[in-house]
Structures are given as C-alpha cells and as structure tokens.
C-alpha cells in the first residue's frame, strides 16, 4: 500500500509545514500525508461505474494491445474479483485512461 507521502519530495513535505504554527497542526498534517494514496478502486460503486480493461489474466499498466482484454464497467469489487455491468466477474481490472479513449482528429474537418 502506497502512502501519499511516498510520492512527495522533501521540498513538497517541507512546503506543507510552512504554514503550521503549532504541534497539533503538525500532527494533523503528518497524519494527512501518511494516509494511503487514493485508488480508483475506492470510487467504484453502483452509482459510480468505472470503465475498465478487464481480464482473467494480468493487464499491462500501459495501453492494452492484447486482444484477450475486454472493456466493461466495474460496479463492485469483492473477494471474488471485479464485478461488471455485464454480469461477469473478472480477476483483473484497470481503468481506461482518457489518453486511451478515442480522440477527435482533423479527418472530419471540412475547411
């Protein structure tokens, strides 16, 4: 589990300390940055479906080129895996980044 502080430089940590005037504020600041780093998995719910690459085999961190991955909306995560709107359970899921989605090109430009 990665903590927020694990991704911070010494300069960033010190910068956060600049406005602190007492020990209580310092303790609160340190507790805040030592919390676990937020994950997309924290946001999954019935009300917040996450569009993901899904598979029963490990999924690469970068853009998927393996045809064995599918795309589905993950709605729940439990001990059995990632549950999707399709009704399937998957062992692995990774959100589809905006850079992996279709981007408009000038192909339709009529100028």
> Mean pLDDT of residues grouped by 10 in the chain (111 residues)?
85 84 87 88 91 87 64 92 92 88 73 61
Task: Give the pLDDT score at 69.
Answer: 72
Task: Give the pLDDT score at 58.
Answer: 84
Task: Give the pLDDT score at 95.
Answer: 92
Task: Give the pLDDT score at 60.
Answer: 73
Q: Are 55 and 70 in contact (CB under 8 A)?
A: yes
Task: Give the pLDDT score at 73.
Answer: 93
Q: Cα-Cα-Cα-Cα dihedral of 71, 76, 78, 82, to 10°?
A: 0
Task: Give the pLDDT score at 21.
Answer: 78
Which secondary-structure segment (H or E) carries 57?
A: none
């Amino acid at each position: 589990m990665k903590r927020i502080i694990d991704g911070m430089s010494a300069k960033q940590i010190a910068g956060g300390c600049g406005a602190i005037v007492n020990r209580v504020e310092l303790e609160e600041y340190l507790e805040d940055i030592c919390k676990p780093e937020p994950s997309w998995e924290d946001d999954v719910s019935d009300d917040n479906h996450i569009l993901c690459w899904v598979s029963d085999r490990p999924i690469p961190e970068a853009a998927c080129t393996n045809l064995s991955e599918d795309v589905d909306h993950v709605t729940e995560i439990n001990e059995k895996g990632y549950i999707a709107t399709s009704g399937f359970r998957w062992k692995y899921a990774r959100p589809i980044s905006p850079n992996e989605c279709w981007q408009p090109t000038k192909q339709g430009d009529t100028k």
